[in-house]
Amino acid sequence: MIERIRAVFQILPDKRGKSNNRRYLMQDAALSAFSVFFTQSPSFLDYQIRMQQQHGRNNAQTLFGVHQIPCDNQIRNLLDPVPPQTLFPLMANIGEELHRHGYLEALRSVDKTLLLALDGTDFFSSHTIHCACCQRCTQTNGATLYRHIAVTPLLVAPGQEKVIALPPEFVQPQDGHDKQDCELAAATRWLTRWGAHYAPWGITLLGDDLYCHQPFCQQVLAANMAFLFTCKPDSHRALYEWIGDFSRMRQLATLVRTRWTGKKRLTDTYRYANQVPLRDSDDALMLSWCELTTTDEQGKVLYHNAWATSHRIDARNVEQLVKAGRARWKIENEGNNTLKTKGYHFEHNFGHGQQHLANLLATMILLAFLAHTTLDWMDERYRAVRQALPSRRTFFEHVRALLQYLPFDDWNHLMAFMLSKLPPPDTG
């Protein structure tokens, strides 16, 4: 994987003029930045410079292939002109390898499709620092807030902790458009760019109520994908008028399930209907609708939500559809929250730049997140070390400490060293 990443970094565009100092290669700048995100160590490069002075070699060189480590400012200056789109095919290629080797089959859900969740997340905001890719928002007090927002598609599945990061799309000013860019427009661009690539995998798109509108739903269907979007009454009045009529005429199909949680007995009530119009127009898209209401023994509502989908619903698949719809939250819990709170520092300003730097570094963080998930599946030693340690946090604490003090020949050397020092995992 490192060799594949290096091969892409070797051909990054170099915007320096012929007269500029070319002491450092573009690939060294990119690999140096990526090494910080992969090791989850903001001080990784400082330690490696010190190690080079003491031992004549360093882990940035042996593990990542960095020839010379640029300083932080040089890394930022070299990478600022590089569009993040140059790394998107690399992320897609890693996902293709997982698909080709069958690792994604365990993620298949409703109608044997893969669930692809879409959501936008902020990863930078400032009243002073900004670049050409920033979104500009005027606040009520007249101040301008500069923001970076990314749509971060993930493959998710109910009951599965692993999520697969796919190439992102950034909310940013678009050439030739006066209108402010937004999450839905970015998601539409992502679908245009990647729909034909991922549709053959068998995809059901998940999204919140923002995505549950006819133009986007039609684009999803045109891309040969299915959809399962949250559907709220306030934004879909015509649809819910039909649901109300069906309910009054007792034409809504209903399925009731009772379950014991170990502490409480809960009742799940599913209601669903097919051939319901998405909006009030002659060309309205006809789709299916379902809802789940969970109550306790006293009848108190503990959970309620509803979804619109292109899948036809019946008693055999309504529970699976609802589980799939609820899996959308994994893009927050296992996705964006992990990136922001589990060592990836997604919201940290590693460098903003004037052109593409902020979005490029965010893409590298997503690439590191994807690489860790891939290694956990495909690399036996990496997986064994992870299993011998109690958490992701502990794993990276050990890695950071070792790489700070000891030089290693390669990744196999590092993993073998850790395995030799760790007790075997308790399998019960």
pLDDT (tens digit, 9 = 90+) per residue, 272-312? 999 999 999 999 999 999 999 999 999 999 999 999 999 99
Domain boundaries, the chain: 2-84+342-421, 85-339
Query: Is the pLDDT confidence value at 9 over 60?
Result: yes
pLDDT digits 0-9 by tens, 323-360: 999 999 998 888 889 899 888 999 988 999 999 999 99
Query: Is the pLDDT confidence value at 108 over 90?
Result: yes
Predicted local distance difference test score (pLDDT) of residue 1:
87
Segment 33-51 shows an average pLDDT of 95
Query: Is the pLDDT confidence value at 427 over 60?
Result: no
Using pLDDT thresholds of 50, 70 and 90, give the confidence band for residue 73.
very high
* CA-to-CA separations, 355 to 84, 112, 131, 134, 351, in angstroms, rounded: 11, 42, 6, 9, 11
The residue among 270 and 19 whose pLDDT is bigger is 270
First to last CA, the chain: 33
Segment 142-157 shows an average pLDDT of 95
The percent of residues above 70 in pLDDT, for the chain, comes to 97
CATH number of the 85-339 domain: 3.90.350.10
Helix (H) or strand (E) holding 294: strand 286-295
Using pLDDT thresholds of 50, 70 and 90, give the confidence band for residue 19.
low
> Running DSSP on this structure, what letter comes out for residue 287?
E
What are the beta bridge partners of residue 207?
229
Query: Is the pLDDT confidence value at 367 over 60?
Result: yes
Predicted local distance difference test score (pLDDT) of residue 305:
97
Predicted local distance difference test score (pLDDT) of residue 18:
72
Predicted local distance difference test score (pLDDT) of residue 425:
60
Segment 81-104 shows an average pLDDT of 96
Query: Is the pLDDT confidence value at 21 over 60?
Result: yes
Amino acid identity of residue 129, one-letter, is I
Instruction: Please name the residues in contact with 397: beta carbons below 8 A apart, sequence gap of 6 or more.
Output: none
Q: Are strands 286-295 and 203-207 parallel, antiparallel or unpaired?
A: unpaired
Residue 318's nearest CA partner among 274, 277, 266, 284 is: 274
> Running DSSP on this structure, what letter comes out for residue 34?
H
pLDDT digits 0-9 by tens, 167-217: 999 999 987 667 789 999 999 999 999 999 999 999 999 999 999 999 999
Segment 309-319 shows an average pLDDT of 97
Q: Where are the beta strands (DSSP E) in 113-219?
A: 114-117, 120-126, 135-138, 144-151, 154-156, 164-165, 169-171, 203-207
Backbone angles phi, psi at 378, to 5 degrees: -105, -15
What's the pTM value of the predicted model, to 2 decimals?
0.94
pLDDT digits 0-9 by tens, 383-394: 999 999 988 899
